[in-house]
């Protein structure tokens, strides 16, 4: 299965972060808002969430009507695998958080859910409605 990696990290300044990745590293950019920015780093998605002076006690940020973990990582998988994994984990005694469709009817629409690993890390599983929309802005 061909997959792409997703990593979400807090940042101090979105414009400086964009300039570093886009201008210096020549990485592409994707969707963005006032509080987050997607970077296309060699086909992998890094989301930087504006967090100010990051404190690991500040564990969340808001995307649409959802509160998401500021520090998480994940994998982008095909829809059939996402559905299979979600169904399998749902039938087990594993807590699934924030199962939702994000950016519905917009570029980048995707299904997402999070699980927590034994170390306390939040792992996100994403599946995009359209595979080519991972970095699409409009």
DSSP lists the bridge partners of residue 7 as 46, 73
Average pLDDT of the residues of the chain: 83
Q: Provide the pLDDT for residue 61.
A: 64
Give the span between the Cα atoms of 51 and 59, in whole angstroms.
10
9, β-bridge pairs? 48
The Cα 99–Cα 125 span in angstroms is 10
The CATH number of the domain holding residue 26 is 3.10.180.10
**Number of compact structural domains in the chain:** 1
Q: Alpha-carbon distance 110 to 130, whole Å? A: 8
Is residue 138, in this structure, part of any structural domain at all?
no
Residue 59 domain-assigned (yes or no): yes
In this prediction the pTM is: 0.65
In a domain, 85, yes or no: yes
Mean pLDDT calculated for residue range 98-105: 84
Domain membership of residue 127 (yes or no) is yes
- Which of 25, 54, 56 has the alpha carbon at shortest distance from 39? 25
Q: For the chain, how big is the Rg over CA atoms in Å?
A: 15
Distances from the Cα of 12 to the Cαs of 34, 52, 55, 69, 118, in angstroms? 13, 5, 11, 16, 29
Report in angstroms the alpha-carbon separations of 81 from 18, 78, 97, 127.
Answer: 32, 5, 18, 9
Residue 95 lies in a domain: yes
How do residues 31-87 score in pLDDT, each as one tens digit? 898 989 999 987 899 898 887 666 656 566 666 776 676 677 888 889 998 999 899
Residue 14: which domain range? 4-133
11 has a pLDDT exceeding 90: no
Alpha-carbon distances of 116 from 12, 13, 102, 119, 134, rounded to whole Å: 25, 28, 20, 8, 24
- Tell me if 113 is assigned to some domain: yes
């Amino acid at each position: 299965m061909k997959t792409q990696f997703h990593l979400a990290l807090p940042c101090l300044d979105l414009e400086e972060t964009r300039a570093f990745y886009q201008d210096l590293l020549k990485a592409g950019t994707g969707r963005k808002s006032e509080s987050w920015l997607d970077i296309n780093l060699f086909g992998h998605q890094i989301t930087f969430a504006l967090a100010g002076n990051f404190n690991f006690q500040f564990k969340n940020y808001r995307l649409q009507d959802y509160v998401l973990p500021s520090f998480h990582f994940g994998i982008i998988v095909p829809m059939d695998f996402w559905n299979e994994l979600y169904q399998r984990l749902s039938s087990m005694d594993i807590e699934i958080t924030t199962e939702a469709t994000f950016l519905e009817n917009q570029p980048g629409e995707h299904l997402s859910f999070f699980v927590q690993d034994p170390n306390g890390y939040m792992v996100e599983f994403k599946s995009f409605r359209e595979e080519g929309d991972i970095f699409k802005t409009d």
